[in-house]
Every structure is written in structure tokens, then in C-alpha cells.
Amino acid sequence: MSDPINRTGLRHRFWERKPLKNMNQHEWEALCDGCGKCCLNKLEDEDSGEVALTRIACRLLDDESCRCSQYEIRHQFVPDCIVLRPDNLDTHAYWMPETCAYRLLWQKKPLPDWHPLISGTPQSVHDAGVSVRGMTLSEFDIPEDEWEEYVIEEPV
């Protein structure tokens, strides 16, 4: 399986030596494991601040590859899609998936063995059962007031 994310030409285990804020764009993008979980809609309780994950995916998520189908031009379709950067990770880490590489490194935790940067293949994410492959429904098909019925536990 070819990797939709360019992880070639990177220094061996660069994430263990380089702080997130010093990474270049290539290194930063390569950290994404391709799980697709951040592209699921979440419900946030305004009072408690608790975040619940649903299986209702953003309209641009490809359920098979778990990738954004229009990543480079996604803001034309989904203007509020977040551009994660080292300087806004503090603001977003609380809602990000437990296994998200950005969140793990932000928490000073190691990347798991199934991460494509370690396994050498994007397939390992699906084999480990941590991606959203085959489990999403499109936000086009489910009215927003029914999303509560589709709350799930994060696959980890």
C-alpha cells in the first residue's frame, strides 16, 4: 500500500530529537498517522466541556483511505477545518484523539509501534484497529440533531 503522506527522506526517528516547534513542514505533516479520527464530528457539552466523538464524518473524509479527499483545497469546502500547528496545539490537544501523534508528542509520550513512521507502512494503522476505516457515516446523510445517537468510543 502506498503512503498518501510523504514520509521519505526524513531523519531516523526525528521526532525523538526535535521539539515540535522546531519541525519543518515535511516533518510536521509526516507525523500524522492517517487514522482519520480528527475528521469525525464531535459533540461538546457546553457546561462540562466534555467532548463526545461520533461516527459522523466530515463531508470530505474518504472512509476507505481515512484521508481528506481534498486536503490541499479543503478550506474552500470546509472553511473551519483546523490547521494544526505547533503554536496552536495547546488550544486543541484536549479534543484530539488519544492516539493522535501530535497529541502524544505534545504530552511527551512515545509514538506507538503501529505508527507508519515506525512500521514503514500506513496499513499498520488500520491493522491495529485505530483508524476509522469502514466505520463512518457522512454528515450529508444524518441530520445534525440526530448525531447524539451516533456517539462512539474512540477506537484505540
The count of residues in the chain is 156
Among 30, 53, 56, 68, binds ligand SF4 (CB under 6 A): 68
Q: Are 20 and 105 in contact (CB under 8 A)?
A: yes
Asked if residue 37 binds ligand SF4 (CB under 6 A), the reply is yes
The nearer residue to ligand SF4, 28 or 143, going by C-beta atoms, is 28
Among 30, 53, 56, 60, binds ligand SF4 (CB under 6 A): 60
| Minimum distance, C-beta of residue 40 to ligand SF4, in the bound complex (Å) | 8
| Minimum distance, C-beta of residue 115 to ligand SF4, in the bound complex (Å) | 9
Q: In this structure, what C-alpha cell is assigned to residue 101?
A: 501523534
Asked if residue 38 binds ligand SF4 (CB under 6 A), the reply is yes
| Minimum distance, C-beta of residue 94 to ligand SF4, in the bound complex (Å) | 13
Residues 51-74 as b or e (16 or more Cβ within 10 Å = b): ebbbbbbbebbbbebbbbeeeeeb
Asked if residue 30 binds ligand SF4 (CB under 6 A), the reply is no
The span from the CA of 21 to the CA of 125, in Å, is 25
The set of residues, in sequence order, having a beta carbon less than 8 Å from that of 145 and lying 6+ positions away, is: none
C-alpha angle 77/126/149, rounded to 5°? 60
How many angstroms from the chain centroid is the CA of residue 98?
A: 10
| Minimum distance, C-beta of residue 47 to ligand SF4, in the bound complex (Å) | 25
Applying CB under 6 A, the residues found at the interface with ligand SF4 are 32-39, 58, 60-61, 68, 74, 78, 81, 96-97, 100-102
